[in-house]
């Protein structure tokens, strides 16, 4: 097979620009799922996957079975992701629900995490000290921390056998409304002198039956300041690639599997692997 040198040089140069070798094995590890959850941008399954702004906060374990949000207060399994509405649903193993209770130190977001709480989250603080908790101090009337309009939720929670076992001198329940804390939510139960809490993100059509409520925490996320989905990533995922980043400046890369990365999408890479055009195989060999 005879090739004109300028043509060969141009084709090889184009291929090397589009298909870069990966610098480490972590770049090979980008997956499109973690356990039963489909993984799309901005989330990723490891370093170099998804968005660099999200990777420190959301990770997939080494067995690729559990996607987890980590903050300075702990690690929380992610149960579902609503990509259309950009919402994460997670659980806190230390949270009290209608079927079980546990002591807890609370839940907080890191100040630099790209998340806020979804409107509609309800937090019930349980078994708080009436003598030392700021919830019941004289100053609490100036900046109320308990939402009395939602007090019936407390009565319903105490109809749960597990929660009814809390037996402080006075059983307490406060529907927490920390309006002054802003998007970087900090719920420090030690400071608030409460032993546990319940988080509810949906009544699930069973407003008067807490056994049917969805316990957990719902977090809203944004792709960026302008909340725009990167067009390059959309093109990558359409070609069955996984969006990621590489290099000193976290440049976009499309992970195409089998160790091949592209600066655009995986259409060209697939053609190369399959011998498309009869010229390239993995972008390096000539027939």
Contacts of 155 (CB under 8 A, 6+ apart): none
Euclidean distance between CA atoms 150 and 33, whole angstroms: 38
118: nearest Cα among 201, 236, 225: 201
Residue pLDDT tens, the chain, 287 long: 554 545 444 444 444 444 444 444 444 468 899 999 999 999 999 899 999 999 999 999 877 789 999 998 899 999 999 999 999 999 999 999 999 998 999 998 888 889 988 888 899 999 998 888 888 876 655 666 788 888 899 999 999 988 988 766 667 899 987 654 555 578 889 998 999 999 999 999 999 999 999 999 999 998 877 778 888 999 999 999 999 999 999 999 999 877 788 899 988 655 555 544 322 223 333 23
Tokens of 6: 């300028």
Phi then psi for residue 153, to 5 deg, are: -60, -35
Q: Where are the alpha helices (DSSP H) in 44-176?
A: 152-157, 161-164
Residue 211: other Cβ atoms inside 10 A? 12
Long-range Cβ pairs for the range 248-257 (8 Å, 24+): 250/52, 253/20, 253/27, 253/48, 255/27, 255/28, 255/30, 255/49
- Read off the DSSP letter of residue 22: P
pLDDT of res. 226: 77
pLDDT tens track for 221-273: 988 777 788 889 999 999 999 999 999 999 999 998 777 888 999 886 555 55
* Cα within 13 Å of Cα(249), Cβ side: 2
Q: In the structure encoding, which two tokens stand for residue 280, read together?
A: 């390239």
Residue-level pLDDT at 280: 28
pTM of the model: 0.79
Report the alpha-carbon distance of residue 32 to residue 272 in Å, rounded: 22
Q: Which of 109, 13, 112 is nearest to 53 (CA)?
A: 112
Q: How many CA atoms lie within 13 Å of 87's alpha carbon, on the beta-carbon side? A: 13
């Amino acid at each position: 097979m005879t090739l004109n040198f300028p043509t060969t040089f141009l084709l090889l140069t184009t291929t090397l620009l589009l298909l870069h070798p990966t610098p480490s094995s972590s770049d090979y590890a980008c997956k499109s799922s973690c356990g039963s959850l489909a993984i799309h941008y901005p989330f990723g399954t490891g370093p170099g996957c998804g968005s660099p702004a999200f990777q420190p906060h959301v990770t997939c374990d080494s067995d690729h079975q559990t996607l987890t949000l980590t903050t300075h207060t702990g690690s929380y399994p992610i149960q579902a992701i609503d990509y259309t509405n950009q919402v994460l649903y997670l659980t806190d193993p230390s949270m009290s629900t209608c079927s079980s209770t546990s002591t807890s130190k609370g839940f907080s977001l890191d100040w630099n995490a790209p998340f806020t709480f979804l409107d509609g989250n309800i937090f019930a603080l349980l078994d708080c000290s009436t003598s030392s908790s700021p919830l019941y101090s004289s100053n609490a009337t100036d900046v109320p921390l308990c939402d009395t309009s939602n007090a019936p939720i407390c009565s319903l929670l105490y109809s749960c056998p597990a929660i009814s076992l809390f037996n402080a001198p006075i059983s307490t329940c406060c529907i927490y409304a920390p309006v002054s804390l802003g998007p970087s939510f900090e719920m420090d139960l030690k400071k608030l002198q409460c032993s546990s809490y319940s988080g509810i993100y949906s009544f699930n059509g069973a407003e008067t039956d807490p056994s049917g409520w969805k316990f957990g925490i719902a977090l809203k996320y944004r792709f960026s300041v302008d909340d725009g989905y990167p067009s390059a990533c959309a093109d990558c995922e359409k070609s069955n690639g996984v969006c990621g980043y590489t290099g000193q400046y976290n440049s976009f890369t499309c992970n195409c599997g089998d160790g091949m990365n592209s600066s655009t999408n995986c259409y060209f890479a697939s053609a190369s692997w399959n011998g498309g055009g009869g010229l390239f195989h993995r972008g390096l060999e000539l027939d």
